[in-house]
Amino acid sequence: MSLAKHWRLQQQRYRLIGVQCEDCGAKLLPRRLVCPQCKSHNLQPYSFKGQGMVYSHTVVYDAPSGYDGYVPYPAALVRLDEGPLVATQLTDVDIDEPYIGMPVEMVTRRLREHGESGMIVYGYKFRPKLKD
């Protein structure tokens, strides 16, 4: 269990905080030190709105260690309204419900726990948009 790794990722996982390039305007998640579009180092924190659409999806039956309590669960690439593509789990949805183009929104959920006595890791997942 890497407490430090989870702690470092909190801002990204809890609030979808990435960066915005002050020179070309690109919005990036995860956070980068150099803008991949214009090579600028002038990047400032940006809080993504958490709205997007399913770009592609699948169902995980054989999960990595720590996630096996949730199988089978839908996983997806979500295209955020601001542009980036995010690899994520879908939640509050049956495994046969997701479709390409499904409007989704970010929620904060349990990602995993490190055993009965270890840390509980929270982070973003996406669910079908509750309300237009």
Where along the sequence are the contacts to other proteins (CB under 8 A)? 10, 14-15, 47, 68-70, 89, 91-92, 94, 107-111, 120, 122, 125, 130-132
Q: Which is nearer to other proteins, 39 or 129 (CB)?
A: 129
SS3 per-residue string spanning the chain: CCHHHHHHCHHHHHHCEEEEECCCCCEECCCCCCCCCCCCCCEEEEECCCEEEEEEEEEECCCCCCCHHHCCEEEEEEEECCCCEEEEEECCCCCCCCCCCCEEEEEEEEEEECCCCCCEEEEEEEEECCCC
Q: Which is nearer to other proteins, 12 or 40 (CB)?
A: 12
Nearer to other proteins, 33 or 130 (CB): 130
Angstrom distance (rounded) from CA 34 to CA 106: 26
- We find the least distance from the C-beta atom of residue 40 to other proteins, in angstroms, to be 26
Instruction: Closer to other proteins by CB, 5 or 131: give it.
Output: 131
Least Å distance, CB 39 to other proteins, is: 30
Report the nearest approach of other proteins to the CB of residue 42 (Å): 24
* Smallest distance from other proteins to CB 79, Å: 21
